[in-house]
Amino acid sequence: MATYAIEPELASGFGKADLVIGRCLVDVKAVLSPAASFRWWLDQLLGYVLLDWPNIFGLDSVALYLGWQGLLIHEPITGLLAASVPGPTPAIADLRAEFRSQIRAETEDSLTARLRHRYPPPTGV
């Protein structure tokens, strides 16, 4: 059975990815010259993977779909991590925990702002 999610919310809506197909997080880009932005996009994908703190999607790979080029670039997360750091490849669970502790204030502020927007306080409070 194939699983998918379109615009999945991560970290209580702090981030929204493009889609998940199976266990792959896919980001869609439509630019004429992708080379200059490629590194930033990989950082963005890795950030989304790290925001899936409870591992809801069981992600094991990421992909970029380049619409103008009709090209899908796919990489296992372990390969991406191995290429990103010198020495031993860090465990994704450890990276998620560290990332979560680093951005906790921002995610809490984001959640509070979304709740206040959705449920405005009564007038005069």
Q: DSSP per residue over the chain, as a string?
A: ---EEES-EETTTTEE-SEEETTEEEEEE--S--GGGHHHHHHHHHHHHHH-TT-TT---EEEEEETTTTEEEEEEHHHHHHHHSSSSPPPHHHHHHHHHHHHHHHHHHHHHHHHHHHSPPPTT-
pLDDT computed for residue 78 by the predictor = 92
Mean pLDDT of the chain: 87
Encode pLDDT of 42-88 as tens digits: 889 999 999 998 899 999 999 999 999 999 999 999 998 888 888 89
pLDDT computed for residue 24 by the predictor = 97
Q: What predicted TM-score, i.e. pTM, was given to this entire model?
A: 0.80
pLDDT cut 90: percent of the chain above it: 46
Encode pLDDT of 107-117 as tens digits: 777 777 777 77
pLDDT band at 125 (very low <50, low <70, confident <90, very high): low
**Helix 92-118 with 38-51: angle, nearest 10 deg:** 80
- For the four alpha carbons of 47, 49, 54 and 57, in that order, the dihedral sign comes to positive
Beta strands at 9-10 and 15-16: parallel, antiparallel or unpaired: antiparallel
- The answer to whether the beta carbons of residues 26 and 18 sit under 8 Å apart is yes
